[in-house]
A and B are shown apart, each in its own frame.
Chain A
């Protein structure tokens, strides 16, 4: 069952508007697999004929300026184009018609990841994954650092480098306002080939699987975006290898928030441990110095005391010696005086 513009409204009525209102957010879960019942778009590149009706519709519903060359001009396919100022989506040609095989085109725009790298990278939280599916961007807080462009694995967003005063990030909104009104995204509504299918992401995966199962000769056995970069709301099936239609297959399935989770997890460790360790090292060095200073002072004091004691002892010995010498001299003098006196007395008596 394909959900196109013809039966979309019926489907929406059947599903009820509950999905559009949004269920309880589950973004905080460790293994986030997308909001339940969120919408997405499946792009079947085998059906795309490069008519650029989607581009025209996109410019119309988003009030974007008309391009230099009209949308009917096929010479634009000579060059690879990308999202730039005034352009939210482009169709590129990847292969020319050959041996009766039709040319290969693919429409590109924001893939509306389940866990967007741009939202994770933004330091003012300008990006938000809505429960309905689209990733929305709020230019009123955007500083213009362009980390979102850097972080996007497909380099999908553009930036208004030529606007000096109010440049904004350029990207597809999946027509979020129209979805809320119960309308289809402009490009899906305009596609005459039903190469674009809008619906609940879970249903789109089932549809894609069914097409691949029925026509294994027609499709690569892979739904691009089911798991890439943690899963996207805009998905692709293709007859050509995905690398040949500009969809890199080497970007892995890791949701972007996991890439920096370890580094951000180290912050509390550094903030908590570093001051304690550094203060400790400072304290130890300070104490070492204090002890060294005290030891030095003690050693000096001890040396002084020893020298003092030595000097005191020497002085004492000298003093005693002097005393002894003095005492000897006195004795001698007394003896001499006595002897003299005796001598004198003898002479007088004689």
Chain B
């Protein structure tokens, strides 16, 4: 007996439901896009992306990247993988806050956060298809030859499982849109289990992304290299997740105001105050463990020695200490605008940190002539993938109950 058979109305057959579902999806997908500025720019980027994709797969990595023996991991790993995974951490942080830690008043923030998380994580394996030499072998570590000593095995296993978890968590929205009640209710019951599983997997792979760089003590500048790297990556992912939820909330509120119902409008502001307070505290913790890392390796003298020292100080003071203070002020004085700007600033700071580890401070020992600078086509493909994500986001929030509760599915609480 199919779980579908009881959805919609009692006597609809499985075939009826499939037909209806296909019709609904087709109606939403097959529309001629209007020539709005967004559509024109997005269209151009997608067209460029398709050309670059052809070049990459027809002529190899050398045709579109500046990667070489010294720099096997470039912009795609630094931005698409490291930044992408960190910025998509809003999914597990928000759902944990609401479902596990009992902050139910932020319930309305969960769906947008899960959606961004799901889209962010979906882009990661797609970006990896471009980056690895033989993309059709991506399942090999699981089905052909398991390299369990590798930190990357852990990353691959956890990201793979977590994409699945996020898909299940997110799929409640499209199931409501398509009115597939039975599966929707079944998945809804699994919320707590999925949330806990998601936090476990996120703890593991967020930290392991940092642990991959534990393998490169001679190549990564000592100010960024630390045995605490996994802890740094994990803690900063929470900050990235919370900041993204606030930052995105501000953008969505502006560009998708008509899609918000009253509850989501009001809660949006409360979420900003609550998350700003939390971010301030976690940033303070992050700042302190960064200092402990410096003390542990006794690297104080390096801070003012050369470019890397000043650059590290800029990251630490400008993008950790400063937003910590600004979030605290914003939460205390209830300054929404300040919080939103600080959230954007913090997101930028996390991106800076990940690019510092993977590109700027990596291979610091090499002469500048041998250093890597990303090829514009590498950045072009990353831009293409991000644009695809934004288009998917726009489609989903336009059609599915993300910023409002579906009238037929009032959000019952756990």
A residues at B contact (CB < 8 Å): 82-84, 117, 119-126, 141-147, 149-151, 153, 155, 157-168, 248, 250-252, 254, 256-257, 259-260, 262-264, 266-267, 270-271, 274-275, 278-279, 281-282, 285-286, 288-289
Contact = CB atoms under 8 A, between A and B. Distances in A.
Report the 7 A-B pairs with minimum CB-CB distance, sorted nearest first: A144-B133, A285-B102, A146-B72, A149-B72, A164-B60, A263-B211, A161-B62
A166 B134 contact: yes
B145 A251 contact: no
B200 A142 contact: no
Interface string B107-136: 000000000000000000000000111100
B140 interface: yes
A271 B212 CA distance: 19
Contact of A123 (B59, B152, B199): B152
Contact of A120 (B69, B215, B230): B215
Given A122-B147, A161-B61, A279 B69 contact: no
B208 to A, nearest CB: 7
Given A125-B147, A278-B196, A282-B99, A263 B60 contact: no
B49 to A, nearest CB: 18
B217 A252 contact: yes
Given A122-B150, A125-B147, 4 more contacts: A117-B215, A260-B211, A270-B203, A274-B196
Contacts of A254: 217
Given A143-B132, A144-B137, A126 B145 contact: yes
Nearest to A155: B70
A123 B153 contact: yes
17 contacts: A121-B215, A124-B140, A141-B137, A142-B134, A143-B134, A144-B133, A145-B131, A147-B152, A150-B216, A150-B219, A161-B68, A162-B60, A260-B151, A266-B207, A267-B154, A271-B204, A285-B100
B132 A144 contact: yes
Interface of B: 57-63, 65, 67-70, 72-73, 96, 99-102, 131-134, 137-138, 140-141, 144-147, 149-154, 156, 192, 195-197, 199-200, 203-204, 207-208, 211-212, 214-219, 227, 230, 365
A250 B62 contact: no
A271 B144 CA distance: 25
A123 B58 CA distance: 26
Nearest to B154: A267
Contacts of B134: 142-144, 166-167
A263 B72 contact: no
A155 B370 CA distance: 12
B82 to A, nearest CB: 13
A149 B133 CA distance: 13
Nearest to B197: A275
A143 B45 CA distance: 29
Contact of A159 (B133, B138, B144): B133
A165 B62 CA distance: 12
A147 B155 CA distance: 12
Given A143-B138, A263-B211, A164 B151 contact: no
Contacts of A147: 72, 150, 152, 212, 215
Nearest to A164: B60
Contacts of B138: 143
B204 A159 contact: no
Given A150-B215, A248-B218, A274 B199 contact: yes
A82 B69 contact: yes
A166 B134 CA distance: 7
Contacts of B230: 263, 266
B214 A263 contact: yes
Contacts of B65: 161
B141 A123 contact: yes
B140 A250 contact: no
A259 B217 contact: yes
B218 A153 contact: yes
A15 B46 CA distance: 65
A161 B60 contact: yes
A157 B145 CA distance: 21
B58 to A, nearest CB: 6
A289 B133 CA distance: 53
B207 A271 contact: no
Nearest to A251: B218
Contacts of B101: 281, 285
Contacts of B60: 160-165, 167
Given A84-B69, A141-B140, A270-B203, A275 B217 contact: no
B203 A274 contact: yes
Contacts of B140: 124, 141, 143
A264 B101 CA distance: 27
Contact of A143 (B141, B146, B154): B141
Contact of B69 (A121, A142, A155, A264): A155
B215 A123 contact: no
Contacts of A84: 69
Nearest to A125: B147
